[in-house]
């Protein structure tokens, strides 16, 4: 089953990533500010973005789901990514696997404009219509107030804190509030 639709909001197009997105992705993921709460290093070479997009395309093929590009309609510009990632046992987060992780990342020029919430609401609407057979969780660095606000606006609630082993950072673990739909 394919769960990588093309979604549209008033200001955004949300669609599967292609290799045409390499430059936009690199522009975003090479910004140090984007990595403030990730404890990861900004990308240094455009080839790293190509590998990341190819990895996402493998997720589309293997699981029918993966992060998707967020395109600003007015400019046609790649401003970030959002959506669902299937977490396999080998990638367990908070000792859990076999679920969808909801996430997003945007270039700093897109921050503070409501794009993350707008795209997240579109994705969650799609989730409630087509994907509820998947368990859905999210996580964020405990100090990332902006990301926390987005998750809480779209129906997630903190259920615990944990250390995200991959980056050794303190995170909040989110679950969907029961009965929340858009």
Domain assignments of the chain as residue spans, ordered by start: 7-176
Q: Per-residue pLDDT for 74 more than 80?
A: yes
Average pLDDT over residues 115-143: 96
pLDDT, tens only, 84-127: 999 999 999 999 999 999 999 999 999 999 999 999 999 999 99
Rounded mean pLDDT, 26-48: 93
CATH number of 7-176: 3.40.630.30
Average pLDDT across the chain, whole number: 94
* pLDDT more than 90, % of the chain: 88
Contact assessment for residue 142 and residue 170, using Cβ atoms and an 8 Å cutoff: yes
Q: How far apart are CA 155 and CA 129, in angstroms?
A: 15
Tokens (6 digits) for 8: 């549209």
* Gap between the Cα atoms of 59 and 129, Å rounded: 21
Q: Give CA–CA dist 53/72, Å, rounded.
A: 19
For residues 168 and 162, give the distance between their C-alpha atoms in angstroms, rounded to a whole number: 10
* Residues 85 and 100 sit within 8 Å (Cβ to Cβ): yes
pLDDT of 181 over the 60 cut: no
Which residues make beta-bridge pairs with 106?
80
């Amino acid at each position: 089953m394919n769960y990588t639709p093309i979604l549209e909001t008033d200001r955004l197009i949300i669609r599967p990533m292609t290799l045409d997105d390499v430059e936009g992705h690199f522009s975003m993921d090479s910004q140090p500010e984007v990595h403030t709460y990730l404890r990861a290093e900004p990308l240094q070479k455009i080839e790293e973005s190509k590998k990341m997009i190819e990895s996402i395309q493998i997720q589309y093929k293997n699981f029918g789901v993966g992060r998707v590009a967020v395109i600003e309609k007015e400019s046609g510009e790649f401003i970030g990514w959002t959506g669902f990632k299937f977490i396999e046992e080998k990638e367990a987060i908070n000792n859990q696997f076999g679920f969808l992780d909801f996430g997003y990342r945007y270039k700093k020029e897109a921050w503070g404009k409501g794009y993350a919430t707008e795209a997240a609401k579109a994705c969650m609407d799609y989730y409630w219509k087509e994907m509820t057979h998947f368990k859905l969780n999210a996580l964020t660095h405990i100090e990332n107030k902006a990301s926390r606000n987005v998750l809480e606006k779209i129906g997630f609630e903190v259920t615990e804190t944990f250390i995200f082993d991959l980056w050794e950072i303190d995170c909040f673990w989110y679950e969907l509030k029961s009965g929340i739909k858009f």
